Amino acid sequence: MALRTNRDLLVPMVLVGEVTHPELPWDPFLVSAAGEPYIPLGAGGVLYGYGPGSPAFAPGDHAEPGATLAAPGERQNQALLGYACLGNPATAQAGGRSLRGFVCGLRGEGRGVLASFADEDLEQIHPGCRVAVRCLGTGLRLLDHPEVSLHHLSPGLLTALLAEDRGGLVAKVRAEIPSYLLGNGVGRPAATWEVDLVSDDRALMGELGLQGLRIGDVVALPDWEAVTLQGYAPGALTIGVVVHGDSPLPGHGPGILPLASTQRDGVLRAVRDPARPILFT
């Protein structure tokens, strides 16, 4: 039975973002959790060969799949972050062609929306290219499960994430991430931020089965609330998706974008399935 939603009441919008250019300060070095200096690489612009299905624990710093998009003004950019939803179509005009991709994530702190394109199309895209995003999904609600809040999810991906089961909802996830391992993004609005998995303890990542995570993997965050602001909440549950790569910075790591969250225990369940495909299949 299909999940009942308010899809017919959603407002479709077309917003435009420009492919960003990576930025570095005059002193380009950051310091890793191991105390070693490094130059960050992988955030902003166009990243070749890295997209949905790629390893989350890849070289670089917050590697962003595909092309990173931002609008020119702060409030306009916040609108792009708040209205663009996973799976929304993204169309770039480059090389005399219309190149079609889709939204596959976002970065908090106003850094931008992440759009996936075919590798051959990315070769035609560069910083400054304008990309139109057909936004649909903000405000999506589950009519029979009002205790569960949805974020960043286009209606077409809903059934790939959630299903009804025994009067509640269930999500198949590739892994569970304990709330004590969540860092950058704590206290930030779920509507425009992801939260990072703190990944510097590689032995622990292996013990928890997290080292094989990929961009697009669905994960569960038990005792984590992302209805409005994100943070620890006993009994809460959030289902999210991996949207960017690892980071050497302390308190940082692969980014998890919240998609469904509830503060009520037992309303939403997560079932671990190591064979679960990524969300964008």
CATH code assigned at 247: 2.102.30.10
Q: Both 128 and 156 in a single domain?
A: no
Q: Both 176 and 74 in a single domain?
A: no
Query: What is the mean predicted confidence (pLDDT) over 142-151?
Result: 97
Could you tell me the CA-to-CA distances from 140 to 27, 54, 94, 227 in Å, in that order? 43, 28, 32, 13
Convert the pLDDT of each residue in 16-65 to its tens digit: 999 999 999 999 999 999 999 999 999 999 999 999 999 999 999 999 99
In a domain, 49, yes or no: yes
Question: Residue 163's pLDDT is what?
Answer: 96
- Residues 157, 140, 149: CA angle, nearest 5 degrees: 95
Q: Which domain holds residue 116?
A: 7-135
* Pair 102, 51: CB distance under 8 Å: no
Of the three residues 135, 164, 182, the one that is the final residue of a domain is 135
Burial environment of residue 9 by CB neighbours within 10 A (0 to 12, 13 to 18, 19 or more): exposed
Q: Both 60 and 126 in a single domain?
A: yes
Q: Both 108 and 212 in a single domain?
A: no
Q: Both 88 and 199 in a single domain?
A: no
Q: Both 153 and 118 in a single domain?
A: no
Convert the pLDDT of each residue in 72-108 to its tens digit: 999 999 999 999 999 999 999 888 889 999 999 999 8
Query: What is the mean predicted confidence (pLDDT) over 102-129?
Result: 95
Look over the chain and give the mean of its residue pLDDT values, rounded to a whole number. Answer: 96
Q: pTM for the complete prediction?
A: 0.96
Q: Domain count for the chain, please give it.
A: 2
In a domain, 192, yes or no: yes
Q: Residue 12 pLDDT more than 80?
A: yes
DSSP 156: G
Question: Residue 266's pLDDT is what?
Answer: 86
Q: Both 157 and 255 in a single domain?
A: yes
Convert the pLDDT of each residue in 219-253 to its tens digit: 999 999 999 999 999 999 999 999 999 999 999 99
In a domain, 74, yes or no: yes
Question: Residue 98's pLDDT is what?
Answer: 94
Q: Residue 158 pLDDT more than 70?
A: yes
Better-scored residue on pLDDT, 128 or 266: 128
Q: Which residues fall within 8 angstroms of residue 207, CB to CB, at 6 or more apart?
A: none
- Residues 108, 109, 115: CA angle, nearest 5 degrees: 45
Q: Both 121 and 30 in a single domain?
A: yes
Q: Residue 140 pLDDT more than 90?
A: yes
Percent of the chain with pLDDT over 70: 100
What's 15's domain CATH number? 2.40.10.170
In a domain, 221, yes or no: yes
Question: Residue 96's pLDDT is what?
Answer: 84
Question: Residue 21's pLDDT is what?
Answer: 96
